[in-house]
Amino acid sequence: MENLKAIVLAAGEGSRMKSKTPKVLHKILNKTMLDYVIEAARGGSAEAVCVVVGHKAEEVKAGIACDGVGFALQKEQKGTGHAVMMAADFIEDDKDMLILYGDTPLMQGESLARLAEIHRTEGNGVTVVSAVLDDPTGYGRIVRDSAGNFRKIVEHKDASAEERGIQEINTGIYIFNGRALRESLQKLGNENAQGEYYLTDCLESILLDGGRVGIVTAEDADEFFGVNSRVQLAEAAGIMRERVNRKHMENGVTIIDPANTCIDPSVKIGMDTVILPGCVLEGDTVIGEDCEVGPHTRLTDMKLGNGVKIQQTVALESEIGDGAVVGPFAYIRPNCHIGNRVKVGDFVEVKNSTIGDGTKIPHLSYVGDTDAGERINFGCGSIMVNYDGKKKHRTTVGNDVFVGCNVNLVAPVTVEQGAYIAAGSTITKDVPEDVLAVARARQQVIKGWKEKRFEK
């Protein structure tokens, strides 16, 4: 939407969070509350965003993942009106100005776009978002006249008994005409017990100057839920989790237990995939169709093909091909490329490795810094010994190799295609094609040893 800018207020300390971390940097599903608000502003077509910082300003700036954000500094926290004053250079007379808060992470861009459209259609000097709550205790009330038009906002502590009976509350979200905002800020005073400048006073100022104050009642009050404590952070996270899970289910994904499934908003999941309980899916994870994920699996920045089955596994920043079976109790570390129909079984760790199609690593093995070909069988207890105490080295294993149980391949080493490695071998030299490599001491049987031992 043209001629729309957003100011995000994020200068407060948030003492009720009881945290060394600034309140707006606390995360929901691995994204800060402030980043959610910035993304919502841009989703509502704001062409520019200015964040007003104050408490731990540099930490807040560094904690923002979104690019292209401007900043204004509020050195002293003297109220919401004062915070907007600090962004005076950002305000333009011919643009509409969204005023948002960095601790309201549940807002959606579509709702802000709707707000802007209504604001312009009605020709308002300012439009405030209201919400109707069953229990409005603690919130400022929207007071209307007999015709239903805006008259004032009264804070809970200042409200009369009749006004406290009003269930329509002020969410604190506004869109101002730029000129009306600038002029009302110039008239703003702080003649109150707290000595603060309240943005709500700007609405009455605009009304007294003959401007129109509109009200848009939120269709979903949860969108404008503000977070001031750890308890409210958990409540907001629950709402976000339910919202994300519902979207996937509506798109053809089965989530067996949504209450025990955490999926980041950025995750993509294909149709007919089943997510079992206890899963955490994070970052830029992409899961194909017809997969079965879980139970109790964590995937971070993963790419899974179609028909993958992965259970009780931690997998990070890697790719898994079609039809692969992973787990239980596997650990896929970053930069792995696991091919189609690969088996990575129980208590197997794979790190910085390429595993070719059809290869099997059934159990109790470590495959690190390895280029493994197709159709290899790694026996139980196969270890790629990749570290010499100073440097990491790579191991190369060709197609159709058979690696016996309890084998150590000491890198750098190459095992060429078709070779067999005898169980219990420690291989330190390259192995040619189609041979049997045995590297272990010859078994000896010493008669009479037991009797001599116990005689001593």
Which tens digit of pLDDT belongs to each residue from 236-286? 999 999 999 999 999 999 999 999 999 999 999 999 999 999 999 999 999
Answer yes or no: are the C-beta atoms of 425 and 404 closer than 8 Å: yes
Answer yes or no: are the C-beta atoms of 353 and 370 closer than 8 Å: yes
CA-based nearest residue to 153, from 49, 81, 82, 258: 81
- Residue 342: give its domain's CATH number: 2.160.10.10
Does residue 206 share a domain with residue 346? no
Does residue 230 surpass a pLDDT of 80? yes
Torsion sign (Cα): 174, 176, 182, 187? negative
Name, in order, each residue with C-beta under 8 angstroms of 153's C-beta and a sequence gap of 6 or more.
128, 140, 141, 142, 143, 170, 200, 203, 204
pLDDT at 399: 98
Residue-level length of the chain: 456
Catalytically active residues, by annotation: 363
- State the residue range of the domain holding 79: 4-224
Give mean pLDDT, residues 126-144.
Answer: 92
| CA dist 194 → 77, 78, 79, 188, 413 (Å) | 11, 9, 9, 14, 74
Please tell me whether residue 324 adopts helix, strand or coil conformation: coil
Beta strand segments in 312-353, E: 314-316, 319-320, 325-326, 331-332, 337-338, 343-351
Q: Is 359 part of any domain?
A: yes
- In angstroms, the CA 415 to CA 402 distance is 10
Does residue 320 share a domain with residue 220? no
Does residue 120 share a domain with residue 16? yes
Give mean pLDDT, residues 3-25.
Answer: 95
pLDDT at 91: 97
> Tokens 């999926």 label which residue?
263
- In angstroms, the CA 101 to CA 298 distance is 32
- Counting residues of the chain whose pLDDT is more than 70, the rounded percentage is 100
Does residue 450 surpass a pLDDT of 90? no
Of 169, 200, 224, the one marking the end of a domain is: 224
- Residue 40: give its domain's CATH number: 3.90.550.10
Comparing 135 with 37, the larger pLDDT belongs to 37
pLDDT at 456: 63
Does residue 1 surpass a pLDDT of 70? no
Does residue 20 share a domain with residue 136? yes
Q: How many domains does the chain have?
A: 2
Does residue 86 share a domain with residue 217? yes
Q: Is 177 part of any domain?
A: yes
Q: How confident is the model at residue 300 (pLDDT cuts 50, 70, 90)?
A: very high
Does residue 323 share a domain with residue 184? no
Question: Which of 5-9, 424-428, 438-442 shows the lowest mean pLDDT across its residues?
Answer: 438-442
Does residue 436 surpass a pLDDT of 70? yes
Q: What is the DSSP letter of 248?
A: H
Facing residues of 167 across strands? none
Please tell me whether residue 360 adopts helix, strand or coil conformation: strand
The 10s digit of each residue's pLDDT in 56-83 is: 999 999 999 999 999 999 999 899 999 9
Q: Is 295 part of any domain?
A: no
Give mean pLDDT, residues 419-429.
Answer: 97
Q: What is the mean pLDDT of the chain?
A: 95
Q: Is 265 part of any domain?
A: no
Give mean pLDDT, residues 387-416.
Answer: 97
Name, in order, each residue with C-beta under 8 angstroms of 255's C-beta and a sequence gap of 6 or more.
245, 248, 249, 261, 275
Question: Per the structure block, which two tokens stand in for 211?
Answer: 């401007």
Name, in order, each residue with C-beta under 8 angstroms of 362's C-beta and a sequence gap of 6 or more.
343, 345, 346, 348, 378, 380
Terminal alpha carbon distance of the chain: 93
Q: How confident is the model at residue 128 (pLDDT cuts 50, 70, 90)?
A: very high
Q: Is 251 part of any domain?
A: no
CA-based nearest residue to 419, from 438, 400, 395: 400
- In angstroms, the CA 140 to CA 239 distance is 23
Please tell me whether residue 27 adopts helix, strand or coil conformation: strand
User: What number of other Cβ atoms are within 10 A of residue 416's Cβ?
Assistant: 17
* Entry pTM: 0.90
Answer yes or no: are the C-beta atoms of 193 and 199 closer than 8 Å: no
